[in-house]
Amino acid sequence: MTSIRLTAHDRANGAALPQSRGELSRTVRQALTRPAGTPLPQRVTAAHADPYGDDLQLALYLCYELHYRGFAGIAPEWEWEPGLLRLRAEMEHRFLSALRADTGPPRKAEEALADLLVEPTDADGPSQFLKKKGELWQFREYAAHRSLYHLKEADPHAWVIPRLTGRAKAAMVAVEYDEFGAGRSERIHAQLFADLMADLELDTAYGGYVDAAGAEMLTSVNLMSLFGLHRALRGALVGHFAAVETTSSPGSRRLAQGLRRVGAGAAAVDFYAEHIEADAVHEQIVRRDVVGGLLEVEPFLDEDVAFGVDATEWTENRLGNHLLTAWAEGRTSLRTPL
Tell me: the pLDDT tens digits for 252-297?
A: 999 999 999 999 999 999 999 988 877 678 888 999 999 999 999 9
Does 7 score more than 80 pLDDT? no
Does 10 score more than 60 pLDDT? no
Q: Would you state the pLDDT for residue 276?
A: 85
Q: Dump pLDDT digits (tens) for 138-147.
A: 999 999 999 9
Q: Would you state the pLDDT for residue 277?
A: 76
Q: Are 113 and 246 in contact (CB under 8 A)?
A: yes
299 DSSP assignment? G
Q: Beta partners for 15?
A: 71
Q: What angle do CA 323, 326, 330 make, to 5 degrees?
A: 130
Question: What HEC string does 138-169 produce?
Answer: HHHHHHHHHHHHHCCCCHHHHCCHHHCCHHHH
Q: Dump pLDDT digits (tens) for 14-33.
A: 899 999 999 999 999 999 99
Does 150 score more than 70 pLDDT? yes
Does 12 score more than 60 pLDDT? no
Question: What is the distance between the alpha carbons of residues 334 and 338, in angstroms, rounded to a whole number?
Answer: 8
Q: Would you state the pLDDT for residue 48?
A: 93
Average pLDDT on 83-98 reads: 97
Does 169 score more than 90 pLDDT? yes
Question: What is the distance between the alpha carbons of residues 48 and 108, in angstroms, rounded to a whole number?
Answer: 32
Q: H or E stretch including 247?
A: helix 234-261
Q: Are 247 and 176 in contact (CB under 8 A)?
A: no
Q: Beta partners for 233?
A: none
Does 121 score more than 50 pLDDT? no
Average pLDDT on 310-335 reads: 97
* pTM for this entry: 0.94
Q: Are 164 and 305 in contact (CB under 8 A)?
A: no
Average pLDDT on 191-206 reads: 97
- Across the chain, mean pLDDT equals 93
Instruction: Give me the percent of the chain exceeding a pLDDT of 70.
Output: 94
CB-based contacts of 136, cutoff 8 Å, min separation 6? 200, 262, 263, 264
Average pLDDT on 220-246 reads: 97
Q: How far is CA 186 from the centre of its chain?
A: 22
Where along the chain do its domains lie? 8-101, 107-328
Question: What is the distance between the alpha carbons of residues 145 and 155, in angstroms, rounded to a whole number?
Answer: 17
Please report which confidence band the pLDDT of residue 149 belongs to, taking 50, 70 and 90 as the band edges.
Answer: very high
Question: What is the distance between the alpha carbons of residues 175 and 171, in angstroms, rounded to a whole number?
Answer: 6
Domain 107-328 falls under CATH 1.10.569.10:
no
Q: Would you state the pLDDT for residue 123?
A: 63
Query: Based on the number of CB atoms within 10 Å of its own CB, is 322 exposed (0-12), middle (13-18) or buried (19 or more)?
Result: middle
Does 37 score more than 90 pLDDT? no
Q: Would you state the pLDDT for residue 29?
A: 97
CA distances from 309 to 48, 319, 329 (A): 27, 16, 30
Q: Dump pLDDT digits (tens) for 40-87.
A: 887 889 999 999 999 999 999 999 999 999 999 999 999 999 999 999
Q: Would you state the pLDDT for residue 218?
A: 98
